[in-house]
Structure 1
Amino acid sequence: MSAYNELHFQYKERSDLATELILANKELAFQYEEKAKRAAELVIANVELMFQSNEKEKRASELVIANNELNFQNREKEKRASELVIAKNELDFQNEQKEKRASELIIANNELIFQNKEKEKRAVELIIANRELAFQKLEKNIREAELAIANKKLIFKTQEREIRTAELNIANRDLKIAEDKQKRYIIGLEEMMFITSHKVRQPIANILGFSQVLDQSINSPDDIKRCVAHIKESAIILDTLTRELNAYICKLGQRDDFKEE
């Protein structure tokens, strides 16, 4: 009877040990599945991080191009300002020359008045006065011709100054229009960047995520159908956003603000 009990006890011990081994195998299998899921999640996270890094690099490149364009425009503004300063100095110089010529004309007029007085004083000396008058008449004709030429030059310079002023006004207007166009164009680009970075990325991320899920071992056809449905839904959303973005780009290109005059 004791031998039978001993055998029964050993059989029970072996059964308990087998049960523990089965439980341990199930635990190991469960841990292996958890590790596989965690690895799949890490792969998806790495793909998302790589995509975000690429987007950041694109945004940095676009910002560099925009900064270069702004620097070029600032240099053009500085050049135009220098040209305006030179033009102003030229106008000031012309005004000074005109004032000098006016002073010379006043002196010439005073000289003519003095000569007329001298002519009246010498009226009694007919022979000498006639010769003197003939000489003065000749000098007067020459001076009148010079005054006529000087007046024509002043008129021409005045016209040139008016033309230069009109050209400067037109240039300032064109510069203001170009600056306004550039500001509106930058606003349009910022809106496009917002649509691309906030709306288009979400369906792309969904498609990538569900694609990674499909790559895993899925045994249920219902799971496959759900993943395909989600991918199709994300693709439709992405197609709609792409059409909206294209329409916005066409609308931006068709604005009168960005067309060449």
Structure 2
Amino acid sequence: MAKLTASAQLLLANKELALQNKEKEKRAAELLTANVELSFQNSEKEKRAAELIIANQELAYQNIEKEKRAAELVLANVELSFQNSEKEKRAAELIIANAELILQSEEKEKRALELSLAYKELRKVEKHLKEHILGLEEMMFITSHKVRKPIANILGLSDLFFESIQSPTKLQQLISFLKLSAEELDDFTKELTGFISKLEQKGNI
């Protein structure tokens, strides 16, 4: 009876062991499944990590490109600022040059007007000088002809005075000739005075 109990106990122990083995197998299968899942998750994590590394590299490359473009934009802005400054400088120089050209043009017009007025005035003076020269030539002609005649007469009569001092009749005739010559000389003097006065008036005008 005790042996049967031991057998029963052994059977129960075997059953218990078999049950434990099944549980172990079940746990092993669950662990295997969990390991497979964990391996899959690790693979996914590694895949995501690789993707993150690639994404980070791409982001770093993009940041480098952005920085490069930003540096190029800074240089471009500096160059553009310099060009604008040069343009403003050239524009200011052109404004000054245009103002200078306008001033020079105004001065030229002013000088041209002054030259035109001076030329007109010169023509007037030239005309007046020609008239004056003609007047002087005429005055010289009058002097050389009209003055010489009465002077020659007076000189001749003065010689005759000495010769005719004893003849009152002849002396009287000589005096009348002398008077006539003196009157001619007086008329010429008046004519010459008037002529000179006209020349002076023209000169004043």
Same fold judged by TM-score > 0.5?
yes
**Structure 1 residues 97, 128: closer, same or farther in 2, change over 3 A?**
farther
Pairing partner for 2:185 from 133, 137, 148: 137
Partner of 1:165: none
Aligned pair partner of 2:113 in 60, 76, 82: 82
- Does residue 45 (structure 1) correspond to residue 45 (structure 2)? The answer is no
Q: 1:91 to 1:129 in 2, by over 3 A?
A: farther
Q: 1:133 to 1:34 in 2, by over 3 A?
A: same
Change in CA separation of 1:131 and 1:45 when aligned onto 2, cut-off 3 Å: same
Please, what TM-score do these two structures have when normalized by structure 2? 0.55
* 1:31 correspondence with 2:62: yes
Q: 1:17 to 1:137 in 2, by over 3 A?
A: same
Structure with larger Rg: 2
In the aligned structure 2, how far is the partner of 1:133 from the partner of 1:52?
99
| Identical counterparts, % of pairs | 40
For residues 37 and 132 of structure 2, what CA distance do their matches in structure 1 show?
A: 141
Q: How does 1:3-152 map to 2 (within 5 A)?
A: 3=33, 4-105=35-136, 107-108=138-139, 113=145, 126=174, 128-141=176-189
Unaligned runs of at least 5 residues, structure 2: 1-28, 158-169
**Offset at 1:61?**
0.5
Deviation sequence 1:156-207 (CA, Å, 0-9, x none)? x9xxxxxxxxxxxxxxxxxxxxxxxxxxxxxxxxxxxxxxxxxxxxxxxxxx
- Partner amino acid, structure 1, of 2:71: A
* Whole-angstrom distance in 2 between the partners of 1:107 and 1:53: 79
SS state of the match for residue 57, structure 2? helix
| Alignment deviations for residues 2-56 of structure 1 (CA, whole Å, 9 cap, x no partner) | 6244443333233222222222223223212321232232122112211210111
Question: Normalising to structure 1: TM-score of the pair?
Answer: 0.45
Residues in 2 aligned to 1:104 and 1:14: alpha-carbon distance in whole angstroms: 130
Structure 1 position 146, deviation (Å): 7.5
Q: CA RMSD in A?
A: 3.7
Aligned length: 151
The superposition leaves residues 223-261 of structure 1 with CA deviations (integer Å, 9 ceiling, x where unpaired) of xxxxxxxxxxxxxxxxxxxxxxxxxxxxxxxxxxxxxxx
Aligned to 2:162: none
CA distance in 2, matches of 1:80, 1:140: 49
**CA shift digits 1:100-128 (9 cap, x unpaired):** 234444555665646877998xx996454
Partners in 1 of 2:148 and 2:45 — Cα distance? 152
Q: What residue in structure 1 maps to residue 160 of structure 2?
A: none
Residue 96 of structure 1: SS of its match in structure 2? helix
Whole-Å separation in 2 of the counterparts to 1:109 and 1:32: 111
